[in-house]
A and B are shown apart, each in its own frame.
Chain A
Amino acid sequence: MKVTIDPTRCRGHALCLANAPDAFEFLDLEDRSVVREGAEQRVPLERLLAAERECPERAITVDQDA
């Protein structure tokens, strides 16, 4: 499984941090989120899918086959 954030789409809404706080980190001065190392192993799938589903910019992809 692989979680990715498209850096060209992420606009810093930070809803991913609300939905899966342990999976993401916010880069203040870049105004965007990045995936934390090992998030796929540590964070329950339902939280990751919530982050993907609630992202208004559609920047997050959870690829369960990767």
Chain B
Amino acid sequence: MPRAGHHGGPRRVSTANDVKPRHVIAFDHHAPEFRDHCPAVVARLHATGEPLGWSDAHGGYWAVYGYDAIYDAVQDPDLFSSAHSGAVPKGVPRSTYDDPLIPIDVDGPLVHEYRRVVLAWFSPGGAKAMEPRIRALATDFIDAFIERGQCDLSHELLLPLPARLILEGLAFDPERWSEWIEWIHSVVHDRTKHPDKALSATENIFGNIAVEIERRRGDLGDDLLSDILRARFDGEPFTDQQVMSYVFLLLLGGMDTTAGLTGNALVELDRNRELRQALIDDPSLLPKATEEFLRRESPSYGLYRTVTRDAVFHGQQLRAGDRAILMFPAAGLDPSAFDHPEEIDLTRTANRHMAFGLGPHRCLGSHHARVMFQVMVGEVLRRMPDYELDGPFVRFEDAGDVYAVRELPVRFTPGPRETA
């Protein structure tokens, strides 16, 4: 019986008496070891018996990886603040932009006010309405390589589909998806090892969004950017900087994470042929499998908070100003919350994973992500059921923020195109 569901009621409040010695861990989420052995690294953290630890890397930070500790941190935004700016920089190490991204770098009631602007688009109903478009995109992308018998699934399906969808939503030129993807990937994956490249990509992103804002301002339409430009708060619109920050976040969320999840899942389905056959034989299992892949293969590690005051948290003495990474995917691998967390188990119940985070900042795109994931995996299994790795797959060099596949070469029995 999974134990994640056995909580509720008042939670234990730590007192000064509960302070343990600082739990120092040899850990760096940006290190090659994390990229190459992520599940094992996370399992080793859980095996310490402590739900969080202090790493001396990058100037020092708390890695919070235990299920209950992350749950508690998210419920207490007064202690674990999301509010970031130049004065309280975000990220470990510091990100390439100082202005708060909206709404992820904001605390309090404004989070919901800001999210409301795009909720019609990102609601469950909004995602369902996009499904035909997502299916059409999947058909087109797969048609482009299905007769060939080999492709790079990452570059030819998993990356372009979500990227095109968010660009279409913003009414940006969707044909430029590969440029946008390159910039977004640089921001996410280069910022620790090649900060100059990441900074230059950030400038490109903000510059191009600024051009779109100017173009759109006099000609608002039925798209996400127009909705953001139309929004008023106490009668005031967003500043241009805020509009750019909002759009930047939509691009970040839209372009990297769904592709990452799907790539991780397709790698697992290459290894686990029994599971693949089960999903081919009964596609109605896909929603259940989706939650298991979200629990076990979520790419979204790099969510940061800043500690606002001295406090004891799960036995550890936190100090005001400490930086913390809430490793939401690690919660899904916590053996104190999930039996046999390393197994994809289609009969698992109480699968309260945290792949989309929890609390006021729950992933805005989660409903779209589920639909895109199910369409992409479903279509790959339907049209190329015998796909197998054609040489080694390659991960992004830095997996600290998004643990994802960059190159996924596969071969398969060629099939027919489904459109002319």
Contact = CB atoms under 8 A, between A and B. Distances in A.
Contacts of A14: 124, 367
B358 A31 contact: no
Interface stretch (B28-36, B114-122, B162-170, B396-404): B114-122
B115 A31 contact: yes
Interface residues of A, number: 17
B358 A53 contact: no
B8 interface: yes
Contacts of B125: 26, 28
A11 interface: yes
Given A28-B125, A28-B126, A58-B352, A18 B8 contact: no
B115 to A, nearest CB: 6
Contacts of B115: 31
B5 interface: yes
B366 interface: yes
A11 B115 CA distance: 12
Given A18-B287, A29-B119, A54 B350 contact: yes
B119 A31 contact: yes
Interface string B276-291: 0000000000010001
A13 B362 contact: yes
A56 B358 CA distance: 7
Interface in B350-374: 350-354, 356, 358-360, 362, 366-367
B119 A53 contact: no
Contact of B356 (A13, A54, A58): A13
Interface string A1-35: 00000000001111001100000001011010000
A56 B355 CA distance: 10
A40 B349 CA distance: 21
Interface string A26-60: 10110100000000000000000010011111100
A26 B123 contact: yes
A41 to B, nearest CB: 24
B158 to A, nearest CB: 23
B37 interface: no
Contacts of B133: none
Contact of A28 (B120, B291, B352): B120
Given A13-B362, A13-B366, A56-B358, A50 B349 contact: yes
18 contacts: A11-B360, A12-B362, A13-B362, A26-B125, A28-B120, A28-B125, A29-B119, A31-B115, A31-B116, A31-B123, A53-B5, A53-B350, A54-B350, A56-B352, A56-B354, A56-B358, A57-B358, A58-B352
Interface of A: 11-14, 17-18, 26, 28-29, 31, 50, 53-58
What are the 9 closest A-B residue pairs judged by CB atoms, nearest first?
A: A28-B123, A11-B362, A56-B352, A14-B124, A53-B350, A26-B124, A29-B119, A53-B5, A58-B8
